Structure 1
């Protein structure tokens, strides 16, 4: 008889995992409290990258994520969700530029595709509608980085998963786990229904901490309710513009990427702290106008663009900001995955989780186990 699994959360990690488990012969029920992608996945800048990760183990995990995305492309061809045009980055001050040049040199030294281009090269060959300050001496270009359209990605993943027999239940909230001793034997739904499983995989994003606490597992996330929380970000979608930006762009003070052929999605970390869970987003707040104003310095014909919508991004951010992946300590049959880098990592984590659930441990995940948060008992 096939192993029965329940995957909690139909975001990008949960859906990728459901697909990989089904491909390995596991019977999968995928449960989503709302609709697929309505959590963190649907409010992501969705930039696929590894070069920005300083910890070597985390860098390598993100490289594996980028490679796993390409494997998915081979399985699901003509992928309209995947845009591999690269990432451009430049800095404003001489000191910041020097740090960027050293970063490029460091990445080249470990084999990551990175190069320095002149502003003239970028405008001539890559992005003719960018405006770059004359004081900029060089621009970092990471050609293998990319971005995706998350909900379009989920659409194709769900279609592939359901074709393999994955049962998707939406607007179905898991509120607790069913236990047999210290072994998880299923989940309890808000309706009171009990569903049985041999393995439960928790991919509940920012709701993970509360859910796991039901069975005594401590996994701290940065709360979006804290003042100026790092877990909250602001994304700004522009109206249509008469210009093209084809790549992810990290300009001084603002991140830019295309959202379709003629709109831009903007993010600025320096404005994130001005947004809270209580900030009204309709009409868009003044903070969104400030983000757009900053972007106008770098893209042609952005003067008359308006803020079409402001989006509150609530990140699934473990307290040490590293991914959490693996079997939960003290509770058998319960596997957890939660990470800020979900868009980049989801395909790789899904492959690794499927192998671990089927009995093959993954050495690459050793740094990221959930037991690192458990209190240490002194002798």
Structure 2
């Protein structure tokens, strides 16, 4: 590894921040280029659930469970990283599917506990309607997304990283290799570049004739005003998913990624808020504050793209819809691959080249 290698990281969301931090700690010279500031576009609109939950094959579960462990490692290394291992209570599937999920993931080593109504009441005593059967995973948690991103970037800056505000015009190439990035008309030279710009990634990649096959579905999440503590952890209920933030806001979506905002997002948000309020005991004084609509960068097969770009030297791609969960693992693995050429086996299924047909 050359400690003098200069890497430009395009994007200052949680993925870009983690990659920048890990590169800096490994001895690289790092420049982070951001158009929208710390947090980027998708990160501030995230539900921010850290999990290895249902709906994924075992190979992806293994990456996610490793990422959960890497969050714990990262929390020891970065002062003030806002994490809470608050646990998740899940009853948003029919009982037979909940049981299938529990059986499968338990066999993989996930710490799932089957709970009944009385246990659910002890876990979340302020739920108006309690399930007869639910699953509880004590090891799941949340990160306050923007604060966590800012903490990573600030620590990277303290160790020498540079943050540049501006719009990326294009990647600069010479003899088939990225040699820099044009930012607001100025060229910043570098040995390598990383595209971690979420929904903005395809436009930037296209300047090097690289196609990023991603979609950007919208997700609406409502935010209450700060309120007294009503929720102990994550609640994944049939009608909506919700949690309470460190500052006391209750945030909710019809899905953890946010639901369809519909033709009138404000009306959709207020109806969702009414549903949320009705589900909580002691919420009489809870007030609606605002809603967000995030555009989640989602590769078309639903799984991350984390790899070098075939056919173009000096270019690395990192885009995924599970940014909060995966960020510390992607940061660690990407830094190793960029600086040492070492590709972690957990990333094997997630190369951009899988879409080359």
Q: TM-score range by the shorter chain?
A: over 0.9
Q: Hey, what's the Cα distance between the residues in 2 that align with 1:302 and 1:351?
A: 41
**Corresponding position of 1:226:** none
SS at match of 2:289: strand
Looking at structure 2, the residues matched to 119 and 295 of structure 1 have their Cα atoms a distance apart, in angstroms, of 20
Pairwise CA RMSD? 1.8
Q: Per the alignment, do residues 218 and 118 of structure 1 end up closer, same or farther by CA in structure 2, a change over 3 Å counting? A: same
How far, CA to CA, are the matches of 1:148 and 1:322 in structure 2?
Answer: 21
Aligned-partner Cα distance in 2 for 1:84–1:108: 19
- The worse-fitting range, judged by mean Cα deviation, of 342-351 and 242-251 is 242-251
- Are 2:139 and 1:144 equivalent residues in the alignment? yes
**Contact 2:305/2:319 (CA < 8 Å) preserved in 1?**
yes
- Shift in Å, 1:129: 1.1
Matches within 5 A, 1:42-191: 42-79=44-81, 81-91=82-92, 96-124=94-122, 126-133=123-130, 136-170=131-165, 172-190=166-184
Contact 2:121 2:127 in 1 (8 A): yes
Q: 1:322-369 CA deviation, whole Å, 9 max, x = no partner?
A: 100000011011000000000000110000001101221222111100
Three-state SS of the structure 2 residue aligned to 1:185 is strand
Q: In the TM superposition, what whole-angstrom CA distance separates every residue of 1:304-336 from its partner, at most 9, and x where no partner exists?
A: 533210111110111111100000011011000
Deviation at 1:63, TM superposition (A): 0.9
User: What is the aligned partner in structure 1 of residue 202 from structure 2?
Assistant: 209
Q: For the residues of structure 1 that align with 2:24 and 2:306, how far apart are their CA atoms?
A: 19
1: CA distance between counterparts of 2:248 and 2:336? 41
Structure-2 change in CA distance of 1:152 and 1:91 (3 Å): closer
What residue in structure 2 maps to residue 227 of structure 1?
Answer: none
Cα distance between partner residues in 2 of 1:7 and 1:241: 37
Is it true that 1:272 corresponds to 2:259 in the alignment?
yes
| Structure 1 residues 117-153: Cα deviation after superposition (integer angstroms, max 9, x where no partner) | 12212223x22212234xx321100111101111111
Asked if 2 retains the 8 angstrom alpha-carbon contact of 1:91 and 1:97, the reply is no
Unaligned runs of 5+ in 2: none
> Cα distance, 1:59 vs. partner?
1.1
SS of the equivalent of 1:257 reads strand
Give the 3 Å change call, closer, same or farther, for CA 78–158 of structure 1 in structure 2: closer
d(CA) in 2 for partners of 1:234, 1:91: 18
SS in 1 for 2:188: strand
Measure how far apart 1:243 and its partner are.
4.9
Aligned mates of 2:285, 2:26 — CA distance in 1: 52
Q: How many Å apart are 1:240 and its aligned residue?
A: 4.1
SS at 1:215 equivalent: coil
Given candidates 2, 18, 21, the residue that maps to 2:20 is 18
CA distance in 2, matches of 1:269, 1:143: 20
Question: 3-state DSSP class of the match of 1:187?
Answer: strand
TM-score (norm 2): 0.94
SS of equivalent residue, structure 2 residue 126 = coil
| 1:194 counterpart (187, 193, 199) | 187
Of 192, 215, 221, 2:214 maps to 221
Deviations 1:5-27 (A, max 9, x none): 10001111111111111111111
Q: Matched residues in 2 for 1:101 and 1:85: separation? A: 22
Q: Is the 8 A contact 1:65 1:348 kept in 2?
A: yes
Q: Following TM superposition, by how much is the alpha carbon of 1:77 offset from its aligned partner in structure 2, in angstroms?
A: 4.7
